[in-house]
Structure formats: C-alpha cells, structure tokens
Amino acid sequence: MLGLMQQHPLLISSMITFADRHHGGTEIVSATVEGALAKTGAKHRYTYREAHIRAKRLANALIGLGIAPSDRVGTLAWNGYRHFELYFGVSGMGAILHTINPRLFPDQISWIANHAEDKVLFFDLSFVGLVEKLAPHLNCKAYVLMTDEAHMPAQSSLPNLLCYETLLAAASPDYAWPVFDENTASSMCYTSGTTGNPKGALYSHRSTVLHVYGAAMPDALCLSSRDAVMPVVPMFHANAWSLAYACPAVGAKLVLPGMSLDGKSVYELMESEKVTFSAGVPTVWLGLLQHVDGNGLRFSSLNRTVIGGSACPPAIINRFKDQYNVDVLHAWGMTEMSPLGTVGTLKAKHDGLPIEKQRETLYKQGHAIFGVDMKIVDDTGAELPWDGKAFGDLHVQGPWVTSGYYKRDGETVLIDGWFPTGDVATIDPDGYMQITDRSKDVIKSGGEWISSIDIENLAMSHPAVAEAACIAMAHPKWDERPLLVVVKKAGQEISRDEMLAFFGGKIAKWWIPDDVVFVNELPHTATGKLQKLKLREQFKGHVPA
C-alpha cells in the first residue's frame, strides 16, 4: 500500500521560489568584484524576490544561448549575487552547473572544463586574463563576462564574448520552472586532484535538497531566518558547503564577500552587515584572527562559525570562544559528500561537564548528521569498535554521498555500498568522529601509527607558532618518524629544541618529532588544505640535525 501524499519532486528551483514567496524582502548583500578591483569596496544589495526574477531571466537567456537540459554550464566566479543567480537559473532549467576552482593550475582548469564538456563559461571580471589564456584550449561555444556594459573590456581575444547584464536585460522574466525527475543531475564539482587528474562529483536535485535539510538542522548548522550568513568558503568549493542553497531555504540574510578574503575585508563586511554565522577553512580564520587581535577589535554580531576543509587546530577554537565568545562548529565532509558529513555540536549529556571536557569533544570533527552513516574498518575491512581509541579507514554512506565519478563508469568506487573516504579516524562511544590522518599522510613508526594532526594541533597551541605541518621522514630502524615543519608568528622566535621540549608530557614520548624545520610559509592546495605531498618531496632524504 502506498501513502496518500502529494507527489512533488525535490528540485533546486523550489528553494528560490520558497524564498521569494515567504522571505521575499530578505536581503542578499554582495561585495562586488568591480568594487574590489577599483578598490572602492562597493556593495550590491537586493532581495530574494529580485534574485528570483533575475534567475528566471537567466534561464531564458540560457535557452537563447542554446543550452538544453543536461548541458554543462561552467563558472569561474567568486561569491557574489550573479554567481548565486547561476546556482538557480542553470540547475532550475534542467542544465548542470559546473563550478570550477580558479585557483587550480590553468592546465587543470582547461582539462576539467573539457572533461565536463562545458558549453558556456561564465566568469568574473578578475578572471579575464585567465580565460583569455584558457580559451584556445577550451571547447566552449560562448563566454559570458559577469559584469555590466560599463565594465566590459574595450577589446578581448575571447570569441563570442557576451555581457551578463546585457543578456539578462534582453531576457524575459516570464519563466515557469520545469518539473522533472528529482534524480536529474543538477551540478558538479571536481576534486582538487592532488594526485592524477581531478574527479567529478555529479550531484542531483534530490541529493542537494536533502543535503540542505540535513545541514540546516539544529544539531548541524542550526540555520534560520534570524541569521545573517556569510559563506567565506567559496561557491566553487563543494557548493559553498550548501549555504547558497540553505540560506534561501530557511530565509536567512545572505552576505557574499566577493574576491577580497583578507582579514580586514572579511571583518569589515561582517561588522557592517551584522553577520551572525560564517563558514570557511582554517587558513581564512587565521587571517581574520590576526587582524582582530592586532587591532584590538571585537565581533559585535558573530556568534558562531563552522570550520572545515581540514582539521581545525584547537588553538583556533579556543581563541574564538575565550577571546570573542564565538562558538566554533568543527565540521567534516568531502566534495563527494555534497559535502557535509559531521558537525561538532554537543549533546545534553555534555552540559554539566567542565569546560575542558566539553572542549575535548568540540575538538573532534563531530557526530553524523541525519542522512549520513559512517564506520571505521581495519585493513581487512572488518568494522572496528566505537571506543575512541581504535582508528581505521573511515567509510560513509547516505543519499548525498557519491556512488561513482563522472565518466568513470567502469570504476568500482564503493565497497559493499560504502564510500571509502581516504581518511583515518576514531569514533567514540557517543558517535563523535575524529580524523587522525589522511590514509596517505599517516606516519607508521615501528609498526604503530602516529597521528600527524594531533602533533600539528599541539604545535599550534604554542604562542610562537602560526602554522605547522607534520610529515613522515624515512628512518633506517623505525621505517618512518615524524618531522615537524613550522611557520613562526610574525615577531616571535622559537628554536628547534624549545619546540621539541614543548611536546614533553603532552603526548607519548615516541610520538615526539625527531626534528623541527622552520619555513616562511607552507604549501596549500587550491582549497586551502595543507599540501603534504609537496612537503614530503621538499624534505625527502631529510636527516635530523
């Protein structure tokens, strides 16, 4: 027997339609790319109702460009209102939005765009030079510069260069969002491709809408119409962790920071727009905290931020809470998971615990949100206990977890229906997961595993350390031993011996690194993660002093 419920497919267009109808006057504020390039700090503001009208104009414009359902539409763009319109205009009309990371190497970008078979490329004003270099290697039929006529270049080598605002002005706002199967592909993101070519995760309307429901729940990001949300995580990085969808779905004010992500710019936008919630990778918050600390500033409205992308050092969590009364939600996920998997919110049982005990839980990546299941397994695939001590390979499953990669149909990705994440983790009896390493980064010394993340977190709690990375170096007896690579804070000094002595009594003696080297900066991937592969290459053959 089937239930007697109405049949309404879960479609991305429903979220902007809902925002228009029920939160139509709520603002979307953007720091414009034009303003950043001209150093005027100009902002654009409009409402969900106006955004919806423009998204429908965009859908008509895409049809006029020959875009049909399932065609891929590429973007090279920052977090701004035009990119927001593409999120809904492209997917809503049945095409597939392909957000490309502009921080990748040009040959990677061209490979990704051609592999996805992007028919049209939309790009921000700051990427004109990049796209001109890429165009001879791309198969796009048209290029759309996301600006107005006043900012169009006087001349360009790009074929079929169009102006975004001119396209929209010529398009009708009369458009009825089509209804189709909710399993239809909606958008795609490629992994960072640290080894080999990047791989494409192809999301569906159903997976995206369900992900929004999961992300917005109280024990996840706890989003509501009372929030002013500023995603510093880029809209080209795993759908901005769903925030570009979740904000209209709950009616939250949306604040988009554009291309200026330095500490000063982020802080000033947060303050002027009374941001209550933000999201980004640890490196962004390091810059923000340095600006706030260095200028004796406070946060007047920010009350919580979600930090993910890579493990957040406890020192950052402590600084936000102790100095500024801002709660950090430690989160974990992957491009292949749309991306959210776990969030570090506390349970009622933690309320009466001492702060130190609560922090031990908050430092972990958190518990699964509804829609995600997880387990840890050993090398044979046997499931390991949730005792907070055993650590093994982390596997996940759920309705917004990938089942395979785009154009890799013959490849087996799942193991007995579970997706192997490549992370090594523990899970405690309360279901809180903690990443101890990437499987390729784990240090195996004398047959025992050492967590590089634990060592990095401890190093970053030293007042003279700005950033740290721990990698394995070869050892004739123990096979591998830890090497700590450190960036000092400006104006601070610490020696190798002082750094090693700092670990004494805080971790097992055999976990203490064999050596420390100091560098001016650490290499990061295009999504802000530590690039340990480069460090391992740089320090290959390193011998302790």
> What pLDDT does 312 receive?
86
User: How does residue 198 score in pLDDT terms, banded at 50, 70 and 90?
Assistant: confident
Calpha distance 58→16 (Å, rounded): 13
Phi, psi torsion values for 87, nearest 5 degrees: -55, -40
* 242 domain-assigned: no
* 539 domain-assigned: yes
Q: 92 is written with which tokens?
A: 């809503």
* 65 domain-assigned: yes
In DSSP terms, which residues pair with 305 in a beta bridge? Answer: 278, 328
* 323 domain-assigned: no
* 222 domain-assigned: no
Looking at mean pLDDT, say which of 5-19, 93-107, 500-514 comes out highest: 5-19
> What pLDDT does 51 receive?
98
User: How does residue 442 score in pLDDT terms, banded at 50, 70 and 90?
Assistant: confident
CATH of the domain at 471: 3.30.300.30
Residues of the chain with pLDDT > 90: what percent? 81
Using the 3D structure, point to which of 256, 290, 318 is the last residue of a domain.
Answer: 256
Task: Look up tokens 């740089």; give the residue.
Answer: 538
Residues of the chain with pLDDT > 70: what percent? 99
CATH of the domain at 155: 3.40.50.12780
* 187 domain-assigned: yes
The count of other CB atoms within 10 Å of the CB of residue 123 is: 23
Tell me which residues are annotated as active site.
Answer: 191, 336, 444, 449
Q: Read out DSSP for 275-305?
A: --EEEE-HHHHHHHHHHHHHTT---SS--EE
pLDDT digits (tens, 9 = 90+) for 108-163: 899 999 999 999 999 999 999 999 999 999 999 999 999 999 999 999 999 889 99
* 397 domain-assigned: no
**What does pTM read for this prediction?**
0.86
> What pLDDT does 196 receive?
64
Using the 3D structure, point to which of 256, 281, 315 is the last residue of a domain.
Answer: 256
Q: How far is CA 40 from CA 34, 257, 334, in A?
A: 8, 14, 36
* 24 domain-assigned: yes
3-state SS assignment for residue 255: strand
pLDDT digits (tens, 9 = 90+) for 471-529: 988 887 787 899 999 999 999 999 999 999 999 988 878 889 999 999 999 998 777 77
Using the 3D structure, point to which of 256, 291, 313 is the last residue of a domain.
Answer: 256
Amino acid 115 reads H
H helices of 251-378, in order, are 263-272, 282-294, 314-324, 355-362
- Whether the CB-CB separation of 503 and 510 falls below 8 Å is answered with no
Domain count, the chain: 2
pLDDT digits (tens, 9 = 90+) for 351-380: 999 999 999 999 999 999 999 999 999 989
- Find the domain containing 89 and state its range: 13-33+47-207+248-256
Average pLDDT score over residue span 400-429: 94
